[in-house]
Amino acid sequence: MNGAPQVHYLNVDYGIRSWLFTTDHKRIAWLYLLSVTLFFFFGGFFATLIRLELMTPQGDLVQAETYNKFFTMHGVTMVFFFLIPSIPAVLGNFLVPMMVGARDLAFPRLNLASWYIFILGGLFTLASAAAGGVDTGWTFYTPYSSIYSNSHVALTVVGVFVTGFSSILTGLNFVVTIHKMRAPGLTWFRLPLFIWAIYATSIIFILGTPVIAITLLLVGLERVFNLGFFDPARGGDPVLFQHLFWFYSHPAVYIMVLPAMGVESELVTAFARRRVFGYSFVAFSSLAIAVIGFLVWGHHMFVAGQSVHAGLIFSLLSFLVAIPSAIKVFNWTATLHRGSISYDAPMLYALGFIGLFTIGGLTGLFLASIGVDVHVHDTYFVIAHFHYIMVGGSVMAYLGGIHFWWPKMTGRTYPEPVARVAALIVFLGFNLTFFPQFVLGYLGMPRRYHAYPPEFQALNVMSSAGASILAVGYVLPLIYLIWSLRYGRVAGRNPWGARGLEWQTPSPPPTHNFDVTPRVVAEAYAYDKEPEETYEFGSPSRA
C-alpha cells in the first residue's frame, strides 16, 4: 500500500513535449517551480550586487544610475516573477485539485496557457534587463516613469502587464475548481485552510490585477503617445498613478502572504499533531484580509501629496488589517499549545514564519500611524518591514511548504539533518540581513541611494554579511533537493502521518490523483482520528 504506483504522473510519459504540452496540474506546477526558481536566483543576483555596493559608504562599485537599475530589477523580478506566483502557482497548482479530491483543475488547458503567458511576460522583463534595464523602482512612479526616465520602462511595463493575465486566469481556475469540484462530503468547513487561503488570494488576483494592468498600460500610453494622465503639466495627476498602483499593489502583499498563511496552517497542524485551534476564525480571517486589504492603499501616500483627510481614513483602515492577522498568529500559537511537536525542517520554517511575520506585521502598524510614517517613510525601516513580511514570511513558508510536500511531489524524502541546518541558516542569515535595516532606517538612512554617510557603515556591513549567510541557506536546499531526486529515500504515501486528502494517494500521485474518488466524512485536521475514519475510498472512480 505504501509503495509508489507502477505508473504515476512523472513516469507516465517522458520527453520535453510531454512537459511543454501537458495539461496535468502537477506537471504545470513543476514548470512553475523551475521558472520561479530561476527568477528567484536572477532577482537574488541583483540583491547581491546591492549588498556589495552598500558594504562601503562611497558609491565605489557602480554609478548611481546603475544602482537604480539594480534595485529596480531586483524588485520587479522578485515581486512579479517570484513572490506573486511562487506559492499559488507552484504549491497551489500541485495541491488544490488533490486537496479538494479532484482529478485536475477546472480548466487544465487554461492552466497551461497561464504558464505560457507568465513566461512571455518574463521574457519581456529579461529582454529589458538585457537591453540595459529600468531605473524607476518596481513602483514605476510617474511622471518619472512616464516622461523623464531614459531606461526601458515600456518593455518592462509590458512584461508586467502580460504576466498579470497569468495571475487572473490562475485565480479564476482556482475559484471555479474550489466551488465546483470538491469531492463528495467535502463541505466548505472541512476544507484545508490552505484552500481557504488560496481562495482568498484568487479573489485578489481576479479583482485587483486588472487595475495594475490598466494602470501600467496608461503609463506606457503616456510615455509613447505623450498623453497627459499623470503629467501635471498637461492636467494630469501624479498621485492618481499612486492611487491606481497601490490599489493593486497593497493587496498584492496579501497575494504573497495569504498563501503563506495557508501553508503555515498545514505545517503547524501536521507537526503539532493537533486540529487547528479555531478553524472558522482562521478561515474567515483569510477572507477578511483579502477584503480589508483593498481599503488601505493610501498608507503608501501619506507624504506623497495625498490629502490629510484621506490620510486619516487610510491610516485608520490600515490598523484594521492587524485584527485578522493577529487572529491567525494567536490561533497557530494556540494550536501549538499542548501539541506533540516535532522539529522537522518544515516545522522550523513554520516557527520562523510566526516570529518573523509578527515582527513584520507589528512594524507595519508603526508605518500605518501617520506621525511615525512621516519620520521613517522611504527609509530602510520600510525596507526592513516589508522584507520581514515577504522574505521572513512568504519565502520561509514557501520553503517550508516545498520541504513538506516534496515527498508527495517527487516520491522521495530529502535529507532531514542538512535540511534542518539549512532552515536555521536561513533564519539567522535573514535576521542578520534585515534587523540592522530597522535601526538604519530609524536613524534616517534613506532607501534607493548607492552612497551613505560613514556612520551607517557598521550596520550595513552586518546586513551584507547576513545576506551572504542567507545566500548559503538558499543554495543548500537547491543542492540537496536535486540530490534527493535520485538518492533520496522512497517516501511512501504519507511520510508525515498528516491528515490532508493529498496524503491519502500514492507518492508520486497517479496522473488523475486518485484511483477511486474519495468520500470525505471529517475535516482535514482530524488528528484525533485515523485517516481511514476521515476518508472513504469505496466507490469506483468515475473515469
Partner 1 sequence: MSNGAHITVKTYLTVFVILLGLTALTTGVAFIDLGGGLNNFAALTIATVKALLVVLYFMHARTSDRFTWVIAAAGIFWLLLLLGGTLDDAITRNQLPGELQLTP
Q: What is the DSSP secondary-structure string of 422-459?
A: HHHHHHHHHHHHHHHHHHHHHHTPBSS-S---GGGHHH
Residues between 277 and 306 with contacts to partner 1, criterion CB under 8 A: 294-295, 297-298, 301, 305-306
Q: Which does 25 bind (CB under 5 to 8 A by kind): partner 1, Cu ion, none?
A: none
Give the whole-angstrom CA distance, residue 371 versus residue 47: 31
Give the length of the chain.
543
Out of 47, 211, 402, 470, name the contact with partner 1 by CB under 8 A: 211
Residue 385 binds Cu ion, judged by CB under 5 A:
no
Give whichever of 190 and 243 is closer to partner 1, judged by the CB atom: 243
Q: How far is CA 356 from the centre of its chain?
A: 15
Q: How far is CA 240 from the centre of its chain?
A: 27
Give the whole-angstrom CA distance, residue 423 versus residue 474: 9
Contact mark string toward partner 1, 167..206, x via CB under 8 A: ------------x-----------------------x---
Residue number of the CB atom closest to Cu ion? 250
| Shortest Å distance, C-beta 300 to partner 1 | 12
| Shortest Å distance, C-beta 244 to partner 1 | 8
| Shortest Å distance, C-beta 221 to partner 1 | 18
Give the whole-angstrom CA distance, residue 99 versus residue 198: 12
Give whichever of 160 and 257 is closer to Cu ion, judged by the CB atom: 257
**Residue 241 cell numbers, joined:** 498613478
Under 8 Å CB-to-CB from 297, ≥6 apart: which residues? 243, 246, 247, 249, 250, 251, 314
Q: Which does 250 bind (CB under 5 to 8 A by kind): Cu ion, partner 1, none?
A: Cu ion
Give the whole-angstrom CA distance, residue 397 versus residue 328: 14
DSSP state of 5: P
Binding window for partner 1 (CB under 8 A); candidates: 95-103, 122-130, 146-154, 243-251: 243-251
Give the whole-angstrom CA distance, residue 169 versus residue 184: 26
Q: Which residues of 465-476 are buried (b: 16+ CB within 10 A; e: fewer)?
A: bbbebbbebbeb
Give the whole-angstrom CA distance, residue 102 versus residue 82: 27
Residue 239 binds partner 1, judged by CB under 8 A:
yes
What are the helix and strand counts (H, E) for the chain?
A: 19, 2
Residue 309 binds partner 1, judged by CB under 8 A:
yes
Give whichever of 210 and 415 is closer to partner 1, judged by the CB atom: 210
Q: Which does 334 bind (CB under 5 to 8 A by kind): Cu ion, partner 1, none?
A: none
Please list the residues that pair with 519 across neighbouring strands: 536
DSSP H helices, 304-369, are 308-320, 322-336, 345-368
Q: Which does 310 bind (CB under 5 to 8 A by kind): Cu ion, partner 1, none?
A: partner 1
Residue 139 binds partner 1, judged by CB under 8 A:
no
Element (H, E) at 487: helix 457-487
Under 8 Å CB-to-CB from 479, ≥6 apart: which residues? none
Give whichever of 313 and 421 is closer to partner 1, judged by the CB atom: 313
| Shortest Å distance, C-beta 297 to Cu ion | 6
Give whichever of 250 and 387 is closer to Cu ion, judged by the CB atom: 250
Out of 78, 244, 402, 440, name the contact with partner 1 by CB under 8 A: 244
Which residue type is seen at 97? P
Out of 51, 103, 182, 243, name the contact with partner 1 by CB under 8 A: 243
| Shortest Å distance, C-beta 448 to Cu ion | 18
| Shortest Å distance, C-beta 240 to partner 1 | 7
Q: Which does 469 bind (CB under 5 to 8 A by kind): partner 1, Cu ion, none?
A: none
Q: What is the DSSP secondary-structure string of 193-250?
A: HHHHHHHHHHHHHHHHHHHHHHHHHHHHHHHHH---SS-GGGT--HHHHHHHHHHHHH
Residue 26 binds Cu ion, judged by CB under 5 A:
no
Give the whole-angstrom CA distance, residue 103 versus residue 114: 19
Contact mark string toward Cu ion, 236..275, x via CB under 5 A: --------------x-------------------------
Q: How many residues line the site for Cu ion (CB under 5 A)?
A: 1
Give whichever of 250 and 403 is closer to Cu ion, judged by the CB atom: 250
Out of 38, 127, 207, 418, name the contact with partner 1 by CB under 8 A: 207
| Shortest Å distance, C-beta 218 to partner 1 | 14
Residue 378 binds partner 1, judged by CB under 8 A:
no
- Interacting residues with Cu ion (CB under 5 A): 250
- Interacting residues with partner 1 (CB under 8 A): 179, 203, 207-208, 211, 237, 239-240, 243-244, 247, 294-295, 297-298, 301, 305-310, 312-314
